[in-house]
Amino acid sequence: MSSLKLKSAHSNCENCPVHDKLNLQKLGVNAENADFIVALAGNPNTGKSTIFNALTGLRQHTGNWTGKTVARSEGSFVFHDNKYKVIDLPGTYSLISSSLEEEIARNFVLFGKPDVTIIVTDATRLERNLNLVLQMLEISSRAIVCVNLIDEAAKNGIRIDAKVLSRDLGVPVVLTAARDETGIYDLLSAIEKIAVSTDPVKARTIFDISEEISNPVNELDAIIRKEYPELPNSKWLAIRLLDNDKSLIEALKKGELGQLKNDAKKAVEPNILPQDDNDILGASNKLKGKLPRDYHDKLVERTYAEAAKIAEKAIIKSGEKRKFNLDLFLDKIFISPLFGYPVMFLLFAFMFWLTIAGANVPSALLFDFLVSTVHPFLKSGAEYLHFPWWLSGFLIDGMYLATAWVISVMLPPMAIFFPMFTLLEDFGYLPRVAFNMDNLFKKAGAHGKQVMTMMMGFGCNAAGVVATRIIDSPRERLIAIITNNFAICNGRWPTQILIATIFIGALVPAHLAGFVSSMAVVSVALLGVLLTFIISWGLSNTVLKGQPSVFSLELPPYRVPKFWQTLYKSIIDRTLFVLWRAVVFALPAGAVIWLISNISIGGETIAFHMVHFLDPFGWFLGLNGIILVAYIVAIPANEIVIPTVLMLIVLLTGAQNHTDSAGVIFETDSIESLGGLLKNGGFTLLTAVNLMLFSLIHNPCSTTIYTIFKETKSLKWTMVSTFLPIVLGIIVTATIALIWRLNA
Amino acid sequence: MIFDIFKRKGKELIEGSKAILSELIPGQKAFIKSISEDCQGIERQRLMDLGFVPGSLVEVEMRSPFRDPTAYRIKGGLIALRKIQASKIYISPAVA
Ligand SMILES: Nc1nc2c(ncn2[C@@H]2O[C@H](COP(=O)(O)OP(=O)(O)OP(=O)(O)O)[C@@H](O)[C@H]2O)c(=O)[nH]1
Ligand SMILES: [Mg+2]
C-alpha cells in the first residue's frame, strides 16, 4: 500500500501549485471513516481507472479496451483535511443498463448516494459521452464533468471550451490528461467544492419532450412526488418507470425507493412503503398505455439531440488534423485480409519465443542460487543448530525447496511475458484481435469478446472468468466461462516451456532448439484455441442452444504505452502478485510432498503407494503415477506441478544419484541436468508430449473453480466447467498413447 | 457512386426504398434513418447507446479479414457490428 506517499517534483507543476499538492495524501485502500464518497462514472475506456489511480495512489488495472474494469473498486485520499472515499466504477454507455457491469455502475450512482459523482468523458468523443452525462445529470446535480484525454484531442486538432460546456451543463467542468496527471489538482478542488457545499441535490430539468409524452410523465411524476416529496429526481423516475425499467421496478417492489432520497435517514418504515409503491407501479402501468409506441426511441433521440447541440458549442476545432493518420495505417496492417492473421500469429509466436528464449538463462541462475547454493547452506545451518532430521527435512527439503523451485521456474517467464502482454494491451491491440476473430466465434455460436476473456485467461483463468462480464448475453457468457480453461494460464506456461525445452528442443540441433521448442509451446496454445472453438460450437449446438446475440465492440484508438510505467506496473502488480500466490501454495504443497514421501505405511512411503497405485492408469494415459500425484497435489495451483514432479522423482528414485539420504535433495545445476533427472524418473518423449497436452486439458485450479461458482451461481455449470476438460484430457492423452504405442 | 447502391438495392428490398447499413462498403458514408422494428430490447438500446440514432452520420471504416464484422465510424467512435445487426439499420444517402 502506498499510503501517505506524496508525489514529489513532477513535470506538470504548472498545473499543481506545489504547496497545495502537498495537501493531497494518497491513502491507498484505507477507506475507513471517509467524510465524503466520490464515484467515478462514465463511458468505457475514458480513463476512469487512471484518474482513480492518480487520486488514490493505487494501481487499479487500466487497459486500452472497453470493459477493463468489471467490478467496482475502492480507494481513498485526504485533501485539505477531509477524507474522501473513491469508487472506481465499470464503464457504461448509458444508464439504461443492459449488462452486469453497467448495472453495478448505475445502481451505485442511484442507490449508493455518492456525495460527488465525477463523470469522466473522452474529449475526442464528446458528443456520445455527453449522452451519458445528460442522463446522469438527470439524477443528480452533485456532479463534475471531467473531460479527459485532452492530450489526445489536441493531437487531433480538437480543443474543449470548459467554460461554455460548464455553462450549458450547469455543473463544473474540468479538463484533464490523467495519464500525465495534468489537471488532477483542478479536479481535486472541484471535488472539494461540491463535497462541502450544502446545496441540496437538484436534477437537471428534462425538457424538450412532446406533449404526447409529457402528459403521462407529468401525471406519474405528481403521484411519485405525493409519496416522496423530497425526491429530487422524481421526473426521471417517472420516465424510467414508464419505459419499463426492470431493475427500477424491482427496486420499487422491494421498497428501496426511499433510498433514492436526499436524506436516507428520513426513509419511511419499510412496512408501509410497498403499499405506496404499488400505487405508483399501478399508475405507471395504466399510463404506459397512453404513450406512443416509439416512446423509448423518442427519449433517447431527445437526449442525443441535446448532446449534439451542447457538443457543437463546446468543441473548438483548431488547426489541421495530423496529415498522417497512424490509426488508419496500423489498422490497414492489423485488420487486413492478407496480413491480419499472419501478423497476429507472428506477434504471439514472437512473444512466446522471447519468453522461452529469454527465460532460460535467468531461470538457470536463480536455480543455481536458490537450489544449489542456498539450500545446502540452509541444511548445514540446520545441522549446526542441531535441528532434528524431520524438522530440517520438513522445513528445508519440503517447504523451502518447493518454493525455490516455483520461483526459479516461474519468475523469469512471467517477468518477460506479463510486461509484453501489458504493453500490447495498453497499445489497443486486443480489441483488434477480437475484431479479426469474431467471425470464427460467430460460427462457433459464441461472442467475439470471448477472445478478450481468453487472452486474460492466458494470464490467469480466474481473471479470465471474471472478465466474461463484458459479454452481455448469458448464454454466450457461460460458453466463455466454460472454455476459458483452454487458455493456458501463467501457472501452466512453465510446465509447457520446461518440458518443451528439455524434450522437444533436444530433438533438433542446438541452434534450432529455442525456435522449435517455442513452436511446440505455440502449437499447444493454438490447440487450446482450437479446442475453445470446438467446445464452444459443441455447447451452442447442444446444451446451450440459442441464437448468436448482439455483438458490438468498440475499437479504441491506438495509444503509445508509457513504456517504463507499464513495465513497472506489470512487474509489481501482475508478476509479483502471481508469484506471491504461487509461493503461498508452494509452501504447504512442499510440506505435503515431504510428508507423503517420508511417512511410511507398511514399509513404504505414502507417496510410493500413491504413485504405484496410479501408475497403471498413468501408463494408460501415456503419463505416469508421479505426474498424476503431482496433479492431485497441484489442484490448488497449477504452478506447482513441475516442482512436485521433480521432488517426487528425487524423493522416490533419484536419491541414489544425487544425494546420500532418502527424502533429501539433489544438486542439479542446469536445465540439462533437469532433463537427466526426468529421464531417470522414466520420462519419455511420449510422456513429455502427453504432459504438455494434459497440462492444457485438465480441470481448472481450485481458485478458478471457485470463481466460476461465484460468477455463475450454479453448481451444475461449475461441475461442467470442472469435469468437461478433465474427461476430455483423459480421452485425448489415452488416444495418443494408444496410437503412439501401436506405431512404436 | 454512392447512389448506385441505393438505386440497385432500392427495388430489391422488401421495405421499399430503404437501404441498409450492411450494404455499404468501406469508405462510404450515410445517415442513419431508423432501426428496424425487429430489433428490440437490449439490442436496440445498445445500438442507440453507441450512437446509431436517426440523423447520425456513419462511415464504413473497415471490414474484418472474413468480411464480417465491419467497423463503423460514428460520433467519433469506431464501432464493430456483425452483418446481421447492421442489416437492421436503415440509412439514407449522405451527399458527399
Ligand atoms: N493519452 C492519454 N491516455 C490516457 C489518458 N487517461 C487514460 N489513458 C489511457 O486510456 C486507456 C484507458 O484507461 P482506463 O483508466 O483503463 O479507462 P477506464 O475508463 O477505467 O476503462 P473501463 O474500465 O474499461 O471503463 C489506458 O490505456 C490509459 O493508459 C490520458 O489522459 N491521456
Ligand atoms: Mg476502469
Rounded to 10°, the helix A48-56/A184-196 angle is: 80
Cα separation, A548 vs A444, in Å, equals 9
CATH superfamily, with its number, for domain A12-196: P-loop containing nucleotide triphosphate hydrolases (3.40.50.300)
Q: Does the distance separating the beta carbons of B62 and A335 come in below 8 Å?
A: yes
Centre a 10 Å sphere on the Cβ of residue A107 and count the other Cβ atoms it contains.
Answer: 17
A95: pLDDT strictly greater than 90: no
Question: What would the mean pLDDT of A118-146 be, rounded to a whole number?
Answer: 92
**Residues A25-51: what's their mean pLDDT?**
83
A443 pLDDT above the threshold of 70: yes
pLDDT at residue B17, rounded to an integer: 55
If you average pLDDT over residues A380-394, what whole number do you get? Answer: 91
**A335, A472, A548 member nearest B64 (Cβ):** A335
pLDDT exceeds 70 at position A514? yes
Q: Are A249 and A241 in contact (CB under 8 A)?
A: yes
**CA count, 13 A, side-chain hemisphere, A722:** 16
Nearest to A431 by CA among A410, A412, A453, A446: A453
3-state SS, one letter per residue, for B39-67: CCHHHHHHHHHCCCCCCCEEEEEEECCCC
CATH code at B77?
Answer: 2.30.30.90
pLDDT, average across residues A483-497: 90
User: What pLDDT, on a 0 to 100 scale, did the predictor assign at position A269?
Assistant: 42
In degrees to the nearest 10, what's the CA dihedral of A286, A288, A292, A297? 180
Distance CA A225, CA B78 (A): 42
| pLDDT(A127) > 60 | yes
Contact B36, B22 (CB under 8 A): no
Report how far residue A158's alpha carbon sits from residue A169's, in angstroms, rounded to the nearest whole number: 20
Closest CA to A354 of A574, A573, A514: A514
pLDDT: is A572 or B60 the higher one? B60
User: A151 by DSSP, 3-state: which?
Assistant: helix
In this prediction, residues A451-466 reach a mean pLDDT of: 89
- ipTM of the complex as predicted: 0.84
By residue range, what is the domain housing residue B11? Answer: 4-93
- Is the Cα torsion angle A651, A655, A657, A660 positive or negative in sign? positive
Q: Looking at per-residue confidence, does A643 or A320 come out higher?
A: A643
What one-character-per-residue DSSP string does A167-232 give? HHHTS-EEE-BGGGTBTHHHHHHHHHHHHH--PPP---------HHHHHHHHHHHHHHHHH-TT-T
Q: How many Å apart are CA A575 and CA A417, to the nearest integer? A: 9
Q: What is the pLDDT of residue A8?
A: 37
pLDDT score recorded for residue A444: 92
The residues on A that touch B, with CB distances below 8 Å, are 93-94, 96, 98, 124-128, 131, 296-297, 300-301, 304, 331, 335-337, 340-341, 435-436, 438-440, 442, 448, 472, 548-557
Provide mean pLDDT across the span A361-385: 88
At residue A352 the predicted structure's pLDDT band, cuts being 50, 70 and 90, is confident
Residue A117 pLDDT: 93
Within 6 Å (CB) of ligand 1, which residues are found? A 44-50, 62-64, 66-69, 90-91, 148-149, 151-152, 177-179, 426, 559
The predicted model gives A355-380 an average pLDDT of 86
What cell numbers appear for A706 in the block?
471457485
Summarize the confidence of residues A393-406 as an average pLDDT: 88
Residue A560 C-alpha to ligand 1 middle, in angstroms? 12
Instruction: Of A343-352, A402-411, A629-638, A692-701, give the range with the top mean pLDDT.
Output: A692-701
Smallest Cα–Cα separation from A423: which of A217, A574, A585?
A: A574
Instruction: Give the angle subtended at the CA of A554 by the CAs of A548 and A556, to the nearest 5°.
Output: 150
Which SS3 state, helix, strand or coil, does residue A450 take?
Answer: helix
Q: Highest-confidence range of A208-212, B6-10, B85-89, by mean pLDDT?
A: B85-89
Give the amino acid at A453.
T
Residues in chain B: 96
Backbone angles phi, psi at A254, to 5 degrees: -85, 0
In the predicted model, what is the mean pLDDT of residues A352-372?
84
Test A551 with B76 for CB contact under 8 angstroms.
no
- How many Cβ contacts (< 8 angstroms) between chains A and B? 113
Q: Which of B54, B63, B79 minimises the CB distance to A552?
A: B79
Residue B78 confidence class, pLDDT cut points 50, 70, 90:
very high
Nearest-Cα distance to chain B for A618, in Å, is 43
Confidence band for A259, pLDDT divided at 50, 70 and 90: low
CA distance A412 to A354: 11
pLDDT band per the 50, 70, 90 thresholds, residue A413 = confident
The H or E element spanning position A236 is helix A234-242
Query: What do you get for the CA distance between the two ends of chain A, in Å?
Result: 58
pLDDT band at residue A249, thresholds of 50, 70 and 90?
confident
Query: Contact at 8 Å (CB) between A723 and A531?
Result: no
What pLDDT shows up at residue A453?
Answer: 93
> Rounded to whole angstroms, how far apart are CA atoms A132 and A208?
17
Residues whose CB falls within 8 Å of the CB of residue A412, separated by 6 or more in sequence, listed in order:
A358, A359, A360, A362, A363, A366
Q: Is the pLDDT of residue A11 over 70?
A: no
DSSP structure class, residue A89: P
CATH 3.40.50.300 maps onto chain A at 12-196
Query: In terms of pLDDT, which residue wins out, A196 or A472?
Result: A196
pTM for the model: 0.84
> What mean pLDDT, rounded, does chain A reach?
83
Per-residue model confidence (pLDDT) at position A321: 60
What is the reported pLDDT for A731? 97
| Residue in chain B nearest A338 by alpha carbon | B65
CA angle A350, A352, A355 (to 5 degrees): 110
Structural domains in chain B (count)? 1
Share of chain A above pLDDT 70, in %: 87
Residues A394, A597 contacting (CB under 8 angstroms): no
**Dihedral (CA of A359, A365, A369, A373) sign:** positive
What's the pLDDT at A151?
Answer: 93
CB-CB neighbours of A541 under 10 Å: 12
Contact residues, chain B, for A94 at CB < 8 Å = 45, 49
The predicted pLDDT at position A208 comes to 62
Inter-chain residue contact B68 with A337, CB threshold 8 Å: no
Residue A44 Cα: closest atom of ligand 1: 25
Give the side-chain half-sphere CA count within 13 A for A567: 4
Sign of the dihedral through C-alpha A27, A29, A32, A37: positive
Instruction: Name the residue among B24, B80, B50, B34 with its Cα closest to residue A294.
Output: B34
